[in-house]
Chains A and B, each alone.
Chain A
C-alpha cells in the first residue's frame, strides 16, 4: 500500500496493511481487536486467540471517528471475509480512544503499551520508550507487562515524531531515509541547540544556508533529540531489557544514538514498532472477552 512520494510530502511515511495468510480466523475461538488512535497515527490489530493475525497502520485524519473506521475497514478488507460483527471484543486506546464507537471498552494507552511491548518483545522487557507522534513516554513494566511507573511529556513535541517529519520535509528527504542518512557522517557534529520543533526549524535553515550537508544537519538534530530522550529515560531509570516502540523506533539514526548515549542496547523488533499499543489493547480485549465482562 506504500504510495509513491509526492512532491512536497517527504514527511509522509508508508501506510501498511498486513495479514498472516497462514492463519484462518474461522478456526479461532476468540477474535479480538485493538485500535490505537493516536495524535499522528492510528493502528488496528486483530488477534486470533492471542496470536497476531492482521494489522493496519494509517495516519490519523482530522476526524478521529473517520480514522478509526478507515483503519478497521482496511484491515477487514485485506482479510477478506471477516466482518466487524465476527470480532468478539474490541478495545480502544490512545488519546482518541473514546472516538471509537464500536469499541466495547477503552483502556489507557500506557497500560496497552506495556502489555503490547511485553507480547512483542517478550517478558524480559522492563523499560519501554514510546516515541509517539506528539509525545514521549518512558514506561517501566514488570514481567507481565504491567505498568509500575511511567513518565511522559505531552506538553512539548520536541523529540517526537512530528519533529522528524518537519525535518524530513525541510530537507526534502523521505522520512524512511532520514535515519540511515544521518549515520553517514564521519564525525558527530555538535547537536543543534534546541529540540523545540519551531526553533530547531530556523536553526536548521541557518545550517542549510551555511552549506552543511543534509546528513550532517540530520545528525545534529537527532543528537539533540536523543539527548532529550535519554534525560527522560534516566529520570525513570533504565532497567534492561530495554525496547523502543512507536514510529521513531523505525529510525535507525535515532535508535543508534539513544543506545550510544544510554550505553544500553534496545531489543531488535521483527515487526512494525507502531503497533505495540494496539497489540496490548487486543490482548486486553481477549482477556476481557474470556472473563465475560459485560460489554459497555
Chain B
C-alpha cells in the first residue's frame, strides 16, 4: 500500500497503481478519455505501418509513439505536471487535480479533439429537451452530435472541463463510413484515442485494429475488410469506443469478451450540496428545478417548483433517503423538469426512482 494526498485528502492506495486508477478507485474524478479500465495506458504505444478505413489505405509518416489524449494531466509534488493514466503513485505523493493551468491544458487537448469531431450539440444551450432531429439553429445533420448524445462520454468531459472559446467550429470531413458483417464504422466520429486498438489486442487478443502516426495518431483497421483484418467479431470495440464510431448493425450476440468491458466513471455533471439546513440558507426563493441524490450521490428525484427554497426545506424534513441536492434557477421550470427527466430516461433507461412514486396510483 502507499499513502498519497489528493487535493488535500489522504488516501491509502494500492502500490503500483497509476494516479488515475487510485483517484477513480476513491471516487475522485480526473478528466480522462483514452484511458479505459479494461486496457493498459495508451501513453508510449507504438504505431503500425499501415491501416485501412474501408478500402482506403493510410501509411505511417513516422514511428513516434502515441502520447495519449492529454486530458488526465495532474500536478504532483514539486509542481511537475504528469499524465495520471501513466504515472504510478509513490508513497507520500501529493497530487492536485484542479488548477487553472490544468484546466487550460485540458481545454487545449479538447480543442485538438473537437477540431475533428462534431460538437455543436454539446455547446448548444438547447441541448436538453431537444430530439436532435430538427435543429432550431439549422445546423446540418453531419455537424450535429450522434444519437449516443445522452450517454456520450466526450460530452460529459466537455461539460466538466468547459470548452475554451478558441474551440474551432467542426466542419464535416466526409470520412469513410463502412458497413459490413456486424458493424458500422463511421470514421467521422473517431477521436483516435486508440481505445479500440487496445481493446482488440488486450481483451480479445486479436489484431484487427491498429493506428499509424502522421501529424497525430490515426486509428483504422489492419485490412481493407473486417475478415481480412482478422476481426473475430467479439464486439469489444463497440463497447469500448467513447464515441459512436463503431456500432452494431444487428442485435449483438453476447460473449464473455464483450461482457467483460466495464463501465467507466463519467465526469460528474454538477457539484452537489449536502442536504442539510445550513446549505439551504443560500438557496433562492425563486422558480427552478432541483435534484435529489442518495448517499452514493445517485440521482433519485427531479422536481420543478415555483419556490426552490420552500420545496427543498420540505424535502429536507421528509425525505430520509435524500442526502445531497443541486438546483438551477429557471423561469419555465415545468418545461425544464420534463427536459431533465428526458435526459435521465435516455441515459438510464428508467425514471428516477422517486419520480416513480405515482406507481401506486395506477
Residues of chain A having any CB pair with chain B under 8 Å: 94-98, 107-111, 115, 136, 144-156, 158-159, 195-196, 228, 231-232, 235, 284, 287-288, 291
Contacts and interface: CB of A to CB of B under 8 A. Distances in A.
A232 B345 contact: no
Interface residues of B, number: 30
Give the most central of B339, B351, B361: most A CB within 10 Å.
B361
A163 B147 CA distance: 26
Contacts of A146: 358-359, 362
A232 B133 CA distance: 7
A284 B361 contact: yes
Contacts of A155: 126, 129-130, 136
Nearest to A287: B361
Contacts of A235: 131, 133, 147
A139 B133 CA distance: 16
Contact of B361 (A159, A195, A231, A288): A288
B317 interface: no
A107 to B, nearest CB: 7
Contacts of B349: 149
16 contacts: A110-B338, A144-B362, A146-B362, A152-B129, A152-B342, A153-B131, A153-B134, A154-B339, A156-B136, A231-B133, A235-B133, A284-B358, A287-B360, A287-B361, A287-B362, A291-B361
B346 interface: yes
B329 interface: no
Nearest to A115: B362
Nearest to A111: B358
B261 to A, nearest CB: 25
Interface string B323-362: 0000000001111011101100110011100000011111
Interface in B8-47: none
A149 B345 contact: yes
Interface in B120-154: 126, 129-131, 133-136, 138, 147
Given A96-B334, A156-B136, A231-B133, A150 B345 contact: yes
Contacts of A149: 345, 349
A153 B133 contact: yes
Query: Would you list the 8 A-B pairs with minimal beta carbon distance, nearest first?
Result: A287-B361, A144-B362, A153-B131, A155-B126, A154-B129, A156-B136, A231-B133, A156-B134
Contacts of A231: 133
A118 to B, nearest CB: 9
Interface string B239-278: 0000000000000000000000000000000000000000
Given A95-B332, A98-B334, A154-B335, A228 B361 contact: no
A159 B134 contact: yes
A110 B131 CA distance: 16
B278 to A, nearest CB: 27
Give the most central of B337, B341, B350: most A CB within 10 Å.
B341
Nearest to A290: B361
B306 A98 contact: yes
Contact of B341 (A98, A108, A148): A108
